[in-house]
Structure 1
Amino acid sequence: MVVYVTTQGTKIIKEGRHLLVKKDGATYRTLFTYKLQQLILYGRVELTASARSFLLNEQIDTVFLRLDGRYLGRFAGGESRNVFLRKKQFDLIDDDTFNLRVSRQILSGKLLNMITVLQRIGRTRKNRQVDPCIRQIRSCLHKMPAAKNINSLMGYEGAASAAYFSGFKLGLDHDFGFNRRIRRPPTDPVNSVLSLLYTMLINRVYAAIRIVGLDPYPGVLHRMDYGRQGLPLDLVEEFRTVLADTLTLSLFNLRSLQKDDFQREESEPVSDESNSEANGIDHLEQVVNDPLGRMNNCDAEDLFDIPSQQIIDDNGGNGVAKIRIRLTPEAFRTVLNAFEKKLATEFFHPLAEKRMNYADALVYQVRQYRRVIEGELNDYQPFLLK
């Protein structure tokens, strides 16, 4: 079970073998730690010393985020005891042939999924404006086999992502000011929701990596950088559109989110560096079961796999203050609940040849990646939309 604590000014205390979420003397919720896999805290949520020690002793992944969803840090349990597996990961860091091959497989899946999503948008909305975007992505896809290094692959990914988001906006029923992917700060409602969902998704991929026993730092596509966990950034790619982009379309198109669910605030100048229950949420089941939002003639189970996108920064000039768009507290909970509902949705996984939910699919893909690391499989097969 994953628990989100979003109420500002709450305090989490230890009582016996469980935790209490309290505010102003009232108990908001009791957390039974034997059920708890991950605890995600947003904004001003206080942990007492005894609660902190308890979470560490129980090895419960505890994530700290700003109120706008920006990642701050985490408590995590001890590293995997399988030092031989971790050594193999680090040995492969310098294997350029391995890294290029697996990176190409990850990104090829991502681009194929982009194409499929845009095709569905074009077909169901009878809009041929997506066709040039699809052609650009296909062009990048066809160039990937000839790429001789990771930088070339990332260049093709960046170009494909720009084309994808040009088509993605055509999937929205109404104009919310979205023209392209902007990360810091998100300057329109759609980018705000995408950023929040990407953060939550990366945290879930990180948790899956720890479950499987891999080290989160060495990746193949996102190479070593001081303090950066590359593997979650690699393995989230095939799930971004499956679980974040399509959910974003549904939340807006089914009017679970509207313009008055967002607040404007002036952010700091930008530099070159750049409760899992649906309380009062309308259309939640429709949102979960219609990944693209009002896309008639599409079976939701057929949409289990969609691509991940490159996130770009748009600074609008050095030192220029931007207007940040944030979700209201109620809308914030709407997104969290819809995300957890989506993760619990079942579909038929063709590689596993059985039904599973999206949360289990994250773990399944990480286990497959581990088999590639250990040499049991030669190729990594990304999560593909059929």
Structure 2
Amino acid sequence: MNTLYLLEQGCTLSLAGEILRVRKQQQLRQEVSLPTLKQILVFGTSQLSTGVIRVCLYREIRIAYLSRQGRCYGRLLPTGTDDRRLIRQQHSLGEQAQLGIARAVVQAKIHNCRVTLLRCRRRRPQPELEQPIRYLEYFAQKAARAESLEQLRGYEGAAAAQYFPALGCALTGTGFVLVERSRRPPLNPVNAMLSFGYQVLWNHVLAQIELQGMDAYAGVFHTDNNRHPALASDLLEEFRAPIIDALVLWLVNSRVVDAEQDFDYVNGGCYLNETGRRKFLGHFIQRMNEEVQIDDSTLPRWGLIERQVLRFKQFLLRPNQTYQSYRIR
């Protein structure tokens, strides 16, 4: 998905024919071709002209407003993008059908976490990884047989308690430690990158759900309420470890990010600063453009997200079939 990331504060985005122009204090910083664009993510205090907003709504280009730390405040969407027939089908899913999808999602999430640790062990054998790897296999099997969402959430939480400290053992960069997952706020540089990365990827999952005309608020695993697009959080789960966690490992172990220079401590939390965000997003985009082998074909990682959203949509249209989750090998 072609996305414009507005990271620098105080920029303005204007329209000139088929070109979007990013300026700061009258200086041109970037030009983007409008026909190739699918989404704009605005971090912080940049401004979009009325002409830009109007043409984005007309062309169904999503606009998301986020804090500088990556938290999404809201999105601008054109009218008439929902498929009412599809949404009715989505809302009519029974409890057992929802539980079946949730099982597949959580089992795939735990499986992908385990494979991530196995890859770490292949690169650098560590005794500390052996027990978490065994536990993750156990919890993936338990998740496949969970009899309720509550039970499933318990297995997911237990798996996370094993996974994140083990992921921390695989970090070799100076100043980077992960003992446990902290979210609101993230308390150290590793958690800051994980939170930022998950939020950015969540926006891309949400955009694909919107493009397919589904109700992003009607989830199957996360709490369903009027303020949280739960389905985006559901479908994100399968991609956390293979995309964001793997990227964070590479950024740290390759010494791309600096624990002192690329992070700020604000209001009791730790966050990527502007330099850190630029580094992270640059390598995130590069990673998402890389092609991976899937079944008998190859496609960029962007395509993996679209593929899973389409699989969920196909399940809604043919609920007698099973939802196929994304698992790495």
Q: Which residue is equivalent to 2:194?
A: 194
Deviation, structure 1 residue 78: 2.8
Count matched residues: 327
Q: Which residue is equivalent to 1:99?
A: 98
Question: 1: distance between equivalents of 2:239 and 2:213?
Answer: 20
Tell me, yes or no, if the aligned pair for 1:80 and 1:215 is still in contact at 8 Å.
no
Instruction: State the SS of the aligned residue for 1:20.
Output: strand
Instruction: State the SS of the aligned residue for 2:260.
Output: helix
Deviations 1:80-120 (A, max 9, x none): 3532111100111xx11101111111111111122222222
**Compared with structure 1, are the counterparts of its residues 141 and 64 closer, same or farther at alpha carbon in structure 2 (3 Å cutoff)?**
same
**Compared with structure 1, are the counterparts of its residues 366 and 377 closer, same or farther at alpha carbon in structure 2 (3 Å cutoff)?**
farther
Q: Which residue is equivalent to 1:29?
A: 30
Instruction: State the SS of the aligned residue for 1:259.
Output: coil
Question: 2: distance between equivalents of 1:5 and 1:338?
Answer: 16
What TM-score, normalized by structure 2, do the two folds share? 0.94
Q: Which residue is equivalent to 1:318?
A: none
Q: Which residue is equivalent to 1:117?
A: 116
What TM-score, normalized by structure 1, do the two folds share? 0.81
Mapped pair 1:367 → 2:310: yes
Question: 2: distance between equivalents of 1:11 and 1:81?
Answer: 30
**Compared with structure 1, are the counterparts of its residues 27 and 379 closer, same or farther at alpha carbon in structure 2 (3 Å cutoff)?**
same
Q: Which residue is equivalent to 2:156?
A: 157
Question: 2: distance between equivalents of 1:328 and 1:26?
Answer: 22
Tell me, yes or no, if the aligned pair for 1:205 and 1:235 is still in contact at 8 Å.
yes
Mapped pair 1:83 → 2:84: yes
Question: 2: distance between equivalents of 1:81 and 1:259?
Answer: 43
Question: 2: distance between equivalents of 1:224 and 1:160?
Answer: 23
Tell me, yes or no, if the aligned pair for 2:136 and 2:163 is still in contact at 8 Å.
yes
Question: 1: distance between equivalents of 2:33 and 2:142?
Answer: 51
Question: 2: distance between equivalents of 1:96 and 1:64?
Answer: 34
Mapped pair 1:329 → 2:285: no
Of the candidates 297, 301, 317, which is equivalent to residue 354 of structure 1?
A: 297
Question: 1: distance between equivalents of 2:226 and 2:254?
Answer: 42
Deviations 1:138-196 (A, max 9, x none): 33223224422111101110110110111111110135132111111111111111111
Deviation, structure 1 residue 370: 1.0
**Compared with structure 1, are the counterparts of its residues 155 and 79 closer, same or farther at alpha carbon in structure 2 (3 Å cutoff)?**
farther
Q: Which runs of 5+ in 2 are unaligned?
A: none
CA RMSD of aligned residues (A): 1.7
Mapped pair 1:233 → 2:233: yes
Tell me, yes or no, if the aligned pair for 2:139 and 2:155 is still in contact at 8 Å.
yes
Deviation, structure 1 residue 131: 1.6
Question: 1: distance between equivalents of 2:82 and 2:47?
Answer: 31
Amino acid at match of 1:368: R
**Compared with structure 1, are the counterparts of its residues 338 and 145 closer, same or farther at alpha carbon in structure 2 (3 Å cutoff)?**
closer
Tell me, yes or no, if the aligned pair for 1:8 and 1:44 is still in contact at 8 Å.
yes
Q: How does 1:261-300 map to 2 (within 5 A)?
A: 261-267=261-267
Question: 2: distance between equivalents of 1:247 and 1:263?
Answer: 17
Mapped pair 1:382 → 2:325: yes
Tell me, yes or no, if the aligned pair for 1:107 and 1:157 is still in contact at 8 Å.
yes
Tell me, yes or no, if the aligned pair for 2:107 and 2:144 is still in contact at 8 Å.
no
Amino acid at match of 1:340: I
Tell me, yes or no, if the aligned pair for 1:205 and 1:236 is still in contact at 8 Å.
yes
Deviations 1:330-378 (A, max 9, x none): 221111111111111001111xx21111001111111111111111662
**Compared with structure 1, are the counterparts of its residues 334 and 54 closer, same or farther at alpha carbon in structure 2 (3 Å cutoff)?**
same
Amino acid at match of 1:380: Y
Question: 2: distance between equivalents of 1:149 and 1:80?
Answer: 33
Q: Which moved more, 1:149-158 or 1:109-118?
A: 109-118
Deviations 1:168-226 (A, max 9, x none): 11110135132111111111111111111101100111122123232211111114212
Amino acid at match of 1:15: A
Deviation, structure 1 residue 30: 2.6
Instruction: State the SS of the aligned residue for 2:23.
Output: strand
Tell me, yes or no, if the aligned pair for 2:107 and 2:141 is still in contact at 8 Å.
no
Question: 1: distance between equivalents of 2:264 and 2:64?
Answer: 26
Deviation, structure 1 residue 58: 2.2
**Compared with structure 1, are the counterparts of its residues 48 and 97 closer, same or farther at alpha carbon in structure 2 (3 Å cutoff)?**
same
Question: 1: distance between equivalents of 2:80 and 2:251?
Answer: 37
Tell me, yes or no, if the aligned pair for 1:212 and 1:363 is still in contact at 8 Å.
no
Q: Which residue is equivalent to 2:204?
A: 204
Q: Which residue is equivalent to 1:217?
A: 217
Instruction: State the SS of the aligned residue for 1:236.
Output: helix
Give percent identity, aligned residues only.
27
| Runs (4+) off by over 4 Å | none
Q: Which residue is equivalent to 2:290?
A: 345
